[in-house]
Chains A and B, each alone.
Chain A
Amino acid sequence: MAKDLTLLFILALPLIGFAINGVFGKKLPKAFVGGLATGVVFIAFLLATTLFSGLHGTQIVKLFNIIDFDGLRINASFQIDALSIWMTLIITGIGSLIHLFSMGYMSHDEGYHKFFTYLNLFIFSMLILVLGSNYFVLFFGWEGVGMCSYLLISFHYNDAQKGEANSLAGRKAFIMNRIGDVGLLLALFMLIGQFQTLEFLRIGKALQDNAVLQGSALFFITLCLFIAATGKSAQIPLFTWLPDAMAGPTPVSALIHAATMVTAGIYLTVRSNFLFELAPATKDIIMYIGLATTLLAAFMALRQNDIKKVLAYSTVSQLGLMFVALGFGAYSVALFHVTTHAFFKALLFLGSGSVIHGMHEEQDIRQMGGLAKLMPITHFTFLIGTMAIAGIPFLSGFFSKDEIMAQALHHNPTIYVVLVLAVTMTAVYMFRLYFLTFHGTFRGGDTLKSKVHESGTSMTLPLIVLAVLSVFGGLLNLPGLFFKNAAHWFDHYLSHGTMGLDQVHNAHLPFTTSMALMIFASTIAIGAFAWAYLTYSKKGNIAKADEAQNGWERLSAQKLYVDEIYNSIFVKPLLALSDFAGKVIDIQMLRNGVYALADGVLNTANLSRKWQTGFLSNYLFWMVFGLITFVAYYILKLSVWH
């Protein structure tokens, strides 16, 4: 099949699933609805692998023309290259596993067909985002995934207790994303102003041909792009929506808020590498924001007791890590971490979903414990995920994180030290989560314990596949240390097939330094494992109740009070301003001013009595009629006069 046709099929399949389930889903049997939704994404994945194996240079597929003005022509066109196809593989691959998982997870939900409809729409929007060959199409997808994210976060709006909180969480996510979107919008306007096009290839070429573009213009463009990225990828200052987004069903958290949508900001930066490379100041900003985010979010994760909240802050923190890599210009390193993170974070979220499902919607780890025996498959795969993210040697996370650490050490040793702190916290909170959930004694009471069960095959199968990927994902990009020939496959793959990236070279450290780094990192991960084992399993400590927390624990559990701070410096003043403008300016000043004028007019005309006796219609009629007569008179007069 021709490549362009394959690409269109990849895009069309989720859309077809969306349309069929959206229109007929209610009447169709559940197995069909879920099967169809999963099937279309899986076939899209298979098609994407054919594109992947036949990848050769960059190819543009033009679908139709959206708008065509003299100065600007915007097409609905798509781009096949190493980057877009890689993202497509992640989205459809992980996506189909999560769809499969959802068939089990959502099986008792009355909104079953609606869920799969939204999920397919999301996959479609996300594919538009990564496959578009220009910023406009990207923006299409960008806004689209934001909408799907909203729909899926507030999916359980009918829930008796949490319904309102769920819908508010969706709203918060949508609004914060919109703030980022404005950044993207402004960046697009500036790009149009500078280049008269939004096509990636043409902008890249223009920059190559003519390097005299103003530095400040590029600074503002890239800064706005980064603002957009902070919205979607939950970086400081726009990160607070992501933990709240955990209100959505767990497969949604896995798919949208861990593996795919939140990496859109990283994709955007990698895609725009030719712009960022010319704006060193923005790269510094990215690096520092990423650093601050990864550190703060890791700190907040230390004392969260909701299994999904821990993972949410962990996601924010890992995304921060990727931005640090981007700040150093190590695009393929960041994308490698995106990939392994998609594996193990999807695994962890699905694992937590399996736990929540088995625990009958209980999410507090203080109610769990000892689940290892009750849910063996979930336990084993969750352990693998935890080890991968914590950086236990030779699992995928070990390699991808090590690359980022190496970049940091090469560029700035101080940054490296800060990152070590963040990475240590990651290992600590993850093993704390693992031991509290799966070891020790069950704390949720006997009635609940008797009901806890391992999940069905449609849920455990994705867990196993993802666990395998989490273990072996590192093979994609082995360090040059041991495997001279097989090493850095992913770096080569990406940089040879993506515009701009062949100009960028990652730093490589000398042998002894790399070796030392790896050993040091392994020590940290294993140390954290040992510590958590001793604290939570051996000694049987459990997480404290909210009231018993003090000092830093309270700060961590209360997320440094960022929500409260935002509330008092942004939300409340805006509401107060709204009240002031609506009541004081609009009604008291403007409207009552007009009323006073109106009364004045009536009094002068001595009509107020008549007005009040209810002859308004007559009055109006004569008023208008009078006007018309007046005009008619003028018509006649002018006609005669001419």
Chain B
Amino acid sequence: MALILLPLIFSLIAWWIPSNFTRIFGLISTISTLTLSAVTVCYFKSNEPILIDLGLRFVRFSIDSLGFTMMLLTNAVFFLVFLSNFKRELVHDIRFTALALLMQFGLLGIFTTNTILGFYLFWELTLLPIFLILYWFGNFEKPRAILQFFLYTLLGSLAMLLAVIGLMHATNQQTYEGLLSADLNALGNTSTLLMGGFLLAFAVKIPLFPFHTWQAETYTKAPVAGTMLLSAIMLKMALFGLLKWVLPIFNGIATDFWRWPVIVLGLIGIIYGAIIAIRQNNLKTLFAYASLSHLGLIAAALMLQNGETNQIAVVQIVNHSIVSIGLFLAAGIIEHRIGTAELTGLGGIAKVAPRFAFWFGVLTFVSLSVPFTAGFIGEFFLIKDLFAAHNLTGILASATLILGAVYMLKAYQAPMFGPTKVTSFEDLHWSEITVFAILSIAAIYLGLSPQCLTDFVAHSLSQPTL
């Protein structure tokens, strides 16, 4: 329990921390959360979920191996975000630190809650901090850009709320196990409708085409730490919800109905995002569309509801977090030091900042899923399973390999190698190098032995379908 509450406590304490210590405080609190969860995981047996029952109806937590993975990922992401922003103004602001920690609490709640209502509550809880971060620290000229994000989210949340209520109403169950045992197929089309409510909320958050239009603008205008949080972990809660809750619970009529529509939207996202990314001039916008492309693949693969695909999907989820932190950090570094992330204003950075050129290059290759990185395994097996489901899906999905090379190499080469436009560039700070190094090592480790992760999550992914 302390695992989940810790960020909340830190978040409350944060308001009383003097501003000189803010950034140290942020770092310490995220490190301690990360350490605690890492230690706990050593004592955790993946076939024995930890159940935390406080005797209250709706406050029940249960941590299985998938939950643990997401928890570790969350804590690692927050630590890396704080570390990578160590030299920025942002972390000196107590509001940011407190909000981020509150968000961390919300996310941990989502990944561990055992009741459907809890899931919804934590889902909403994570939204508040990110709105405020975007609003206070973002660079939105027009309020309606942020409003767009808000409206989308609101729409999704409302749909989910109705679905949650409907689900509880129809099944008379609210715990995870209860819902799993309930026979939703008996509800017929109602279950399809209820699942649609969830899917709408998730489609906004994953995001799936055509619910993605908030993404590019939000990622571009948000402070880079906010973009990292959004992309690396917060949006993963939709994939998690799909994987852990919606697909097992609605297994049957509803999933059969929604399978192909979601796969098709995912595929459209893969190709559409990649094609748009090719011509984007702003690095952050480019990476946002790349994200649309990468996540479309995961979402489509999850709909196959295959135990092995799901395990690999978790690898790919982790990989995407690694890639998005790395790439947005690189974009943020460029934007912070030069004042723009527009490609037309960049060129020749490699000459003046060799260390940055090296690490950005490594992360570029990680995102290109070269061998020895997690993405290689992830893409290979996800596309394989899509191919097995239908040849055409696999062929279309593999377009991501080619188009990905087109936009990623452009994104790397234009600022780094292009005609010299940047003549002075402060090379990487130790905190930034540490972040890049951790990300690279994690990607390579997962690329060489994905089995350690797939085995770990296998239990919680195979159980529900029994």
A504 to B399, CA, bound (A): 36
Nearest chain A CB to B203's CB is how many angstroms away?
A: 13
Q: A610 to nearest B CB, angstroms?
A: 11
Binds B, one of A64-72, A243-251, A310-318, A452-460: A64-72
B128–A624 CB distance below 8 A: yes
A143 touching B384, Cβ below 8 Å: no
- Closest Cβ neighbor of B380 among chain A residues: A185
Residue among B146, B150, B451 making CB contact with A65, cutoff 8 Å: B451
Complex: chain B residue closest to A611, CB-CB: B143
Q: Which residues from 123 to 155 on chain A have a C-beta closer than 8 Å to any C-beta of chain B?
A: 125, 136, 139-141, 143-144, 147, 150, 154
Shortest Cβ distance from B140 into A: residue: A616
Residues of A within 8 A of B58 (CB): 635, 639
CB neighbours (8 Å) of B151 from chain A are 594, 597-598, 601
A598–B147 contact, CB under 8 A?
Answer: yes
> For A591, what are the chain B residues with a Cβ–Cβ distance below 8 Å?
148, 213, 217
In angstroms, Cα B128 to Cα A178, docked, is 42
Q: Which of A588-602 contact B (CB under 8 A)?
A: 590-591, 594-595, 597-599, 601-602
Q: Is the C-beta of B427 less than 8 angstroms from some C-beta in chain A? A: no
Interface of B is mostly: helix
Q: Indicate whether A577 reaches chain B with its CB closer than 8 angstroms.
A: yes
Closest A residue to B280 using CB positions: A582
Is A237 part of the binding interface, using a Cβ–Cβ cutoff of 8 Å? Answer: no
What is the bound-complex CA distance between A631 and B117, given in angstroms? Answer: 9
Judge whether B387 is part of the interface by a CB distance below 8 angstroms. Answer: yes
Asked if B117 and A193 sit within 8 Å, CB to CB, the answer is: no
A370-395 contact mask (Cβ, 8 Å, vs B): 1 or 0: 00000000000000000000000000
CB pair A581 B275 closer than 8 Å: yes
Q: Please give, as numbers and ranges, the residues of chain B lying within 8 Å of A579 by CB-CB distance.
A: 279
How far apart are A592's CB and chain B's nearest CB, in angstroms? 9
Tell me the smallest distance from the CB of A561 to a CB of chain B, in Å: 23
B168 surroundings in chain A (CB, below 8 A): 638
B210/A620 in contact, CB under 8 A: no
Tell whether A574 pairs with B376 under 8 Å between CB atoms, given A154-B417, A158-B351, A631-B161. Answer: no
Q: Are A164 and B418 interface neighbours, CB within 8 A?
A: yes
Choose, from B31-39, B43-51, B400-408, the stretch at the interface.
B400-408
Judge whether B413 and A67 touch: CB under 8 Å.
no
Known: A143-B370, A581-B276, A595-B148. A67 touches B401 (CB 8 A): no
Question: Which of chain B's residues has its CB closest to A147's CB?
Answer: B370
Taking a contact as CB atoms under 8 Å apart, the answer to whether A620 and B120 are in contact is no
Establish whether residues B124 and A624, one from each chain, have CB atoms under 8 Å apart when the complex forms: yes
Contact A143 B371 (CB under 8 A): yes
- Closest chain-B Cβ to A130's Cβ sits at a distance in Å of 15
Asked if A634 is at the interface (CB within 8 A of a chain B CB), the reply is yes
In the complex, chain A residues 175-211 whose Cβ is within 8 Å of any chain B Cβ: 175, 178-179, 181-182, 185-186, 188-189, 192-193
Q: Is the CB of B451 within 8 A of A578?
A: no
Interface residue count for B (Cβ, 8 Å)? 75
Give, as a whole number of angstroms, the nearest-CB distance from A155 to chain B: 11
Contact with A along B381-421 (1 / 0, CB 8 A): 10110011000001100110110011001100100111100
A125 to B124, CA, bound (A): 48
Q: How far is the CA of A138 from the CA of B277 in the complex (A)?
A: 30
B272 touches A185 (CB 8 A): no
Say whether B308 contacts A140, CB under 8 Å: no
Contact across chains for A616 and B398 when beta carbons are under 8 A apart = no
Residues of B within 8 Å of A140, CB to CB, are 371-372, 376
Q: Which of B57, B174, B275, B410 has the most CB of A within 10 A?
A: B275
Q: Mark B349-388, 1 if CB is under 8 A from A, else 0.
A: 0110000000000000100001110001100110110011
Cross-chain contact B413 with A171 (CB below 8 angstroms) = yes
Is B216's CB within 8 Å of the partner chain A? Answer: yes
Q: Mark A557-599, 1 if CB is under 8 A from B, else 0.
A: 0000000000000000011011101100010001100110111
Chain A residues in 8 Å Cβ range of B425: none
Q: Give the contacts of B258-295 with A (CB-CB under 8 A).
A: 272, 275-280, 289
Q: Which residues on the A side are within 8 Å of B405 (C-beta)?
A: 171, 174-175, 178
Chain A neighbourhood of B456, CB < 8 A: none
Residues of A close to B278: CB separation below 8 A: 574-575, 578
- Does the CB pair A185–B413 fall under 8 Å? no
Contacts of B252 in A (CB 8 A): none
CA distance A65 to B448 in the complex (A): 10
Contact B370 A67 (CB under 8 A): no
Q: Which residue of B lies closest to A142 (CB)?
A: B371
Q: How far is the CA of A624 from the CA of B214 in the complex (A)?
A: 18
Q: Which of A70, A141, A181, A620 has the largest number of chain B CB atoms within 10 A?
A: A620
Cross-interface CB contact of A189 among B150, B279, B394, B410, cutoff 8 Å: B394
Is A623 interfacial (CB 8 A cutoff)?
A: yes
B75 within 8 A of A: no
Chain A residues numbered 55-100 whose CB sits less than 8 Å from any CB in chain B: 64-71
Which residues in B have their C-beta under 8 angstroms from that of A602?
147
Are B350 and A189 closer than 8 Å at their CB atoms?
no
Is A617 engaged at the interface, CB distance under 8 Å to the other chain? yes
Instruction: State whether A577 touches B275 (Cβ < 8 A).
Output: yes
Chain B positions 104 through 128: 1 when the CB is less than 8 Å from some CB of chain A, otherwise 0: 0000000000000100110011011
Q: How far is the CA of A70 from the CA of B306 in the complex (A)?
A: 12
Residues of B within 8 A of A216 (CB): none
Q: Which residue of A lies closest to B277 (CB)?
A: A578
Minimum distance in angstroms from A620 CB to a CB of chain B: 5
Q: How far is the CA of A611 from the CA of B147 in the complex (A)?
A: 10
Interface residues of B in 185-215 (CB under 8 A from A): 210, 213-214
> In the bound complex, do residue B387 and residue A616 qualify as a contact, i.e. CB atoms below 8 Å apart?
no
Tell me whether A631 and B124 are in contact in the complex, defined as CB-CB below 8 angstroms, given that A167-B413, A174-B405, A575-B278 are known contacts: yes
Is B450 part of the contact surface with A, judged by Cβ < 8 Å?
yes
Interface residue A612 (Cβ < 8 Å from any Cβ of B) = yes
A637 and chain B: residue at smallest CB distance:
B165
| B:127-171 near A, CB below 8 Å | 127-128, 131-132, 135-136, 143-144, 146-148, 150-152, 154, 157, 161, 165, 168
Question: Does any Cβ of A come within 8 Å of B231's Cβ?
Answer: no
Cβ of A186 and Cβ of B394 under 8 Å apart? yes
With both chains docked as a complex, state the minimum distance between the C-beta of A180 and any C-beta of chain B, in angstroms.
Answer: 10
CB nearest neighbor in B for A612: B143
B143 engages A189 (CB within 8 Å): no
- Docked complex Cα distance between A331 and B307 (Å): 42
Write the chain A residue with the least CB distance to B158. Answer: A627
Given known A143-B370, A185-B401, contact A192–B384 (CB-CB < 8 A): yes
Q: Is the CB of B401 within 8 A of A181?
A: yes
**A132→B422 CA distance, assembly (Å):** 44
Q: Tell me whether A157 is interfacial, beta carbon within 8 Å.
A: yes
Q: How far is the CA of A465 from the CA of B418 in the complex (A)?
A: 40
With contacts A69-B308, A189-B394 taken as known, whether A163 is within 8 angstroms of B417 at the C-beta atoms is yes
Bound Cα distance A185, B377 (Å) = 12
Q: How long is the Cα–Cα vector from A52 to B445 in the complex, in angstroms? A: 33
B143–A616 contact, CB under 8 A? yes
- Chain A residues within 8 Å of B448, by CB: 66
> Does A520 sit within 8 A of B, measured CB to CB?
no
Q: Does A628 contact B (CB under 8 A)?
A: yes
The answer, yes or no, to whether B30 is at the interface (CB within 8 Å) is no
Select which of B117, B132, B376 is within 8 A of A620 by beta carbon. Answer: B132
CB neighbours (8 Å) of A623 from chain B are 150, 154
Asked whether B69 is an interface residue with its Cβ less than 8 Å from the other chain, the reply is no
Q: Closest CB of chain B to A190's CB: distance in Å?
A: 8
How far in angstroms is the closest Cβ of chain B from A80? 22
Q: Give the complex CA separation of A147 and B372 in angstroms.
A: 12
A621 is an interface residue with CB less than 8 A from chain B: yes
Q: Is the CB of A67 within 8 A of B454?
A: yes
The 4 tightest CB contacts between A and B, nearest first, are A578-B279, A582-B276, A167-B417, A157-B417
Q: Would you give 7 A-B contacts (Cβ < 8 Å), ordered by A?
A: A66-B449, A67-B377, A158-B417, A164-B417, A586-B216, A597-B151, A631-B117
Add 20 more A-B contacts to A182-B402, A594-B151 (CB < 8 A): A71-B308, A154-B417, A164-B418, A171-B410, A175-B406, A175-B409, A178-B405, A575-B278, A582-B275, A586-B276, A590-B210, A594-B152, A599-B144, A612-B143, A616-B143, A624-B128, A627-B157, A628-B125, A631-B124, A642-B57
